A and B are shown apart, each in its own frame.
Chain A
Amino acid sequence: MEAKHIVPVIIPDWKKEKPDCEACQSTCQSACKTSCTVSNQPCPLKE
């Protein structure tokens, strides 16, 4: 069935663990400082 009224556009792959996860988490922290109040930003190593 091809949806036309309610269409998922971006379905994330959250559950897939990355081998570089530790590096990824490390990078998040610098991103945190960039925004200060908003820390939950994508890690470039995962993109």
Chain B
Amino acid sequence: MGVNPRETVHVFRRGGRILAYDGASGTLHILDEVGEAVLRWFMDSCLAGVTCPGAVSKAVDCGVGPEQTEMALDETLPEGLASALGGRFSDAELAQAWKELKAALGKTLFAPDDILDQEGDEKEFTSALEAGLKSMCLDIAHDCNLACDYCFASQGSFGGKPSLMDEEMGKAAIDYLLEASKDRKYLDVDFFGGEPLLCFDTVKSVLLYALREGARRGKEFRFTLTTNCVLLDDDKISFLVDHGVSLILSLDGRQEVHDRMRRTRGGLPSHSVAVEGAKKAVAAKGGKGYFIRGTYTKHNLDFDEDVKYLYSQGFRYISLEPAVGEGTWGLTEKDFRAVDEAYGRLTEFWLDCRRRGDPFEFYHFNLGLHHGLCKERRMTGCGAGYEYVAVTPEGQIFPCHQLVGRDEFLLGDIWNGIKRQDLMKRFCLSRVPMKAGCASCWARYLCGGGCHARAVYSTGDLLKPDVISCQLMKMRLEHALYAQYCLFTRLIP
């Protein structure tokens, strides 16, 4: 697969800083004006036409680059560089920056890419299939007490008839996961919907069963529950806290923003009761083990105000996702400028809170740059369809929660297992090296090739990521990288 080296390094400005991120090595650089100019000159002049996969430094050896690349690398100060930038910077500055660039080439800039070098090695990429499942989204309820405009699940029913999972079905799903997880020890189950609290007896029964059976078979379960918070009461919270269930709490922020999208089936607002429920749950959990998971739309492009609102209500673990889709609420390119500005203000707020000693987690700023992600996650993101599946109240298995109800993605059922091994393999092979648009992208190992479901809904092809989501991701990553730069260089505590 052809790789455009110029795209694998990204130079950008945020917060008055000039940063360069190398997609292959994951290294973040700080540049000054001279460094930026020299790097851009190198990318524009020396790399024109270079398509060598992996390291640009290999371009010379590969002989695929223009001759000037080889010549330039040997020079103390290439003539082309001096003539292009000599009017702006001194020869000494340019020579120093050029020396630094050469030292970085093939190491922290335009580094070799071990993953892309495995291109064509299908066995390497499909070995994950043999490891078995590790995570299950258990659709406890295909029904909901809310009717949110932007809901991907058709207000909870996933396009079908409303239904609830009974206890026996839930236990059978756990049995299936225990078996399909093979030798894995750690398993995740997310109680999902619709609204899973509509059927809390099943949640309780299934959780206790999983703990019991897991212990008997040497497996450890971790549980999450995703809820709109409206039905959270003391008894439910107590059970969830006592059993260490992590909570994903759906709140969008300010009252008018939340209630515009998240109303009951009778059209009533849900903000007040949802916020109170979330506060109770978070307090009971000691302020940890949860994330507020909101959505911003075309109607609240100033979503930084919603993060500030959530912070003011005492929440310290916050995630807001863009709404991408066909509805009137869906973001389009016309909104990007406003979204970018909102992320900029949000970044400053995030930094300010840290400086004041009362920080909060914004999910998408947690890039884990130092240790990085494991290789599998860098290549594939979520593992939907082969490590992670969603199970409906009727026991059907789909690749993920967002593809539930799409018959063409029905993998099998919990009694007979996976019937569509071909589909499972397709999901497993839908990874960065196989996606033409991702292989060169500087953001490839921070995003893992994007959401499979979004690709299906947008382009109809697992190997073609949704363009809007892609652009939003890269925009958000720039802000996140800047935030991490500030954090790690101790510009903030």
Contact = CB atoms under 8 A, between A and B. Distances in A.
A binds B: yes
Interface of A: 1, 3-16, 18, 21-30, 32-43, 46-47
Given A12-B26, A28-B377, A1 B134 contact: no
29 contacts: A1-B100, A6-B20, A6-B31, A6-B97, A6-B104, A10-B27, A12-B371, A14-B25, A14-B26, A14-B371, A14-B375, A25-B376, A25-B387, A26-B134, A29-B382, A29-B388, A30-B222, A30-B246, A32-B382, A34-B248, A35-B364, A37-B322, A37-B324, A38-B451, A38-B473, A39-B383, A40-B381, A40-B445, A47-B368
Contacts of A18: 371, 374
Contacts of B484: 10
B366 interface: yes
A23 B185 contact: yes
A8 B29 contact: yes
B402 interface: yes
B119 interface: no
Contacts of A28: 373-374, 377, 382-383
A34, A38, A39: most-surrounded residue (chain B CB, <10 A): A38
B29, B224, B291: most-surrounded residue (chain A CB, <10 A): B29
Give 5 closest A-B pairs by Cβ, nearest first. A42-B368, A5-B35, A39-B382, A29-B135, A26-B186
B469 A37 contact: yes
B78 to A, nearest CB: 15
Given A29-B135, A39-B381, A42-B373, A8 B28 contact: yes
Contacts of A34: 248, 291, 293, 319, 363
A41 B363 contact: yes
A20 B137 CA distance: 23
A39 B109 CA distance: 26
Contacts of B135: 26, 29-30
Contacts of B226: 33
Given A26-B187, A33-B401, A43-B374, A9 B29 contact: yes
Contacts, number: 194
Given A6-B38, A42-B371, A30 B190 contact: yes
Contact of B39 (A6, A39, A41): A6
B372 A13 contact: yes
Interface in B189-236: 190, 192, 222, 224, 226
B222 A27 contact: yes
A24 to B, nearest CB: 6
Contacts of B20: 6
Contacts of B60: none
Contacts of A5: 31-32, 34-35, 38, 93, 96-97, 100
B309 interface: no
A36 to B, nearest CB: 6
B402 A36 contact: yes
B321 A40 contact: no
A46 B371 contact: yes
A47 B373 CA distance: 10
Interface in B419-472: 445-448, 450-451, 454, 469
A43 B321 CA distance: 19
B227 to A, nearest CB: 12
Interface in B162-195: 184-188, 190, 192
B492 interface: no
B485 interface: yes
A21 B473 CA distance: 26
Contacts of A42: 366-368, 371-373
Nearest to B134: A26
